[in-house]
Amino acid sequence: MSHCENQGQSLPGHNHNPHHNGSASTAPEARPGLSTSGGCPSPSDKPQNPAQTNNHYTHRRAESSGDHLKAIIENVVEGIISIDDHGIIESINPAALRIFGYTSEELIGQNVKMLMPEPYRGHHDGYLHAYRQTGEARIISKGREVLGRRKNGEVFPMDLAVGEVNLPGRRLFTGIIRDISERKNSEIHVRQLARSLQEKNQELESVVYIASHDLRSPLVNIQGFSIELSHSCRRLTQLLDSSKLSEPALQNELDTILKEEIPEALEFIFAGVNKMDGLLSGFLKFSRLGRVSMDQRCLDLNSLIREVLSAMKYQIQQKSARIETGYLPECCADHLQLSQVFTNLIDNALKYSDPDRAPRISIYSEESPHENEIIVVVQDNGVGIRPEHLEKIFDVFFRLQPHEGIGEGLGLAIAKRIVHRLGGRIWVDSSVNEGSRFFLALPIQSDNG
């Protein structure tokens, strides 16, 4: 768009600018470069004599320079808003009107705080007042990321740079605004992708580890006892082929092979097959989790915990466990998946209780140092976990007491995977012989708002 096409447009609220024509300190100085490109003189504009010519060109230069700046302000993609030192909007350019969804009539003369969400809206008059009193600036002359509020109530992130303009007898503040919602959304998307990639990578590493260690040990057993079995079968065939079948020594040997060696080898082979079967179904269960879609919404955790405890009533009674629950704030999660997490944690608290005392389990919330998340704690007075195992217990198939035959080493890996998919975190703090505290940080709002 050429400069000439913009002549006659004006910045809302600036229609009666007393400093127009470059006569006051705030009006931009006429610069030859600007006037040549923006003046568009026509042959009929020609002045009559040299003195007139000078005046005429100075006047035209200032005028066209002002018009040039106006045209820029009108057409920049950034929103520009100027307010007085009480926060009253004096001018606003079309980009800012588009960003906030208002017309200039709705905004000029209004307090700029109407473009901010709470709690900033409530604090803004106070900031301006403090600045008038102390001159101590929080944002002036600095750029920062803040939140804006559109006419339709939508809160969005924006970059804001505020400058101060000192006019004779008063001052203005100019805010330059860029709506960064799209950039933020892509950042969130990239973060989600990175997180899921990292998770997938870790899982892949565990899968490789398990395939090479855990699956190998039952395989070695199956292989060894299959060789034993084939030896026994070969000996059996040789004995049956021999003609001395009625001799008592031969009867004894047959008895040993048929009643001891073969059943023992088969027993080990079955155990190995069962173990592999368990590991492979565990794998399947775990990998399916990644494909389950999450229905993330605001949840009342108090009722969720009540449901989980009621479903586990039998186990709780069997262990004579005492359960205490504190008030839990709302969070944003998938009901079914989060119930699974709490079920696993409470199940472990019952399983790994100290045989010398009745289990006591407390579920309560703690304040988080981070915005937009809550922390829920599941505390037990069980056997506890040694410091070197605190991280490992979240690995797939990691068990501390595999010989005792309880658990399959999946409960915490599943809990961790669900919590990460919900955008949260899980960790543990424990003292051996005293008990453990499992912490769940859960989002109050989903990543998509």
Among 175, 411, 423, 424, binds ligand ADP (CB under 6 A): 411
334 binds ligand ADP (CB under 6 A): no
412 binds ligand ADP (CB under 6 A): yes
**Minimum CB separation from ligand ADP for residue 347, in Å?**
7
382 versus 423: smaller Cβ distance to ligand ADP: 382
**Minimum CB separation from ligand ADP for residue 434, in Å?**
10
269 versus 361: smaller Cβ distance to ligand ADP: 361
Among 148, 409, 424, 443, binds ligand ADP (CB under 6 A): 409
**Minimum CB separation from ligand ADP for residue 284, in Å?**
16
Among 330, 408, 429, 447, binds ligand ADP (CB under 6 A): 408
Among 93, 337, 339, 436, binds ligand ADP (CB under 6 A): 436
Residue window 343-362: x/- pattern of binding to ligand ADP, with contact defined by CB under 6 A = -x---xx-xx----------
**Minimum CB separation from ligand ADP for residue 291, in Å?**
21
417 binds ligand ADP (CB under 6 A): no
Q: Residue 410 burial by CB count (10 A; 0-12/13-18/19+): exposed, middle or buried?
A: buried
Residue window 368-407: x/- pattern of binding to ligand ADP, with contact defined by CB under 6 A = ------------x-xxxx-------x----xxxx-----x
Among 92, 299, 413, 418, binds ligand ADP (CB under 6 A): 413
18 versus 402: smaller Cβ distance to ligand ADP: 402
20 versus 275: smaller Cβ distance to ligand ADP: 275
Applying CB under 6 A, what is the total number of residues that bind ligand ADP?
Answer: 23
171 versus 392: smaller Cβ distance to ligand ADP: 392
**Minimum CB separation from ligand ADP for residue 359, in Å?**
10
Residue window 231-250: x/- pattern of binding to ligand ADP, with contact defined by CB under 6 A = --------------------
**Minimum CB separation from ligand ADP for residue 388, in Å?**
12
For 204-223, letters b (16+ CB in 10 Å) and e give: eebbeebeeebbeebeebbe
372 versus 431: smaller Cβ distance to ligand ADP: 431
89 versus 413: smaller Cβ distance to ligand ADP: 413
**Minimum CB separation from ligand ADP for residue 121, in Å?**
46
Residue 387 exposure: Cα atoms within 13 Å on the Cβ side: 0
Binding site for ligand ADP (CB under 6 A): 344, 348-349, 351-352, 380, 382-385, 393, 398-401, 407-413, 436
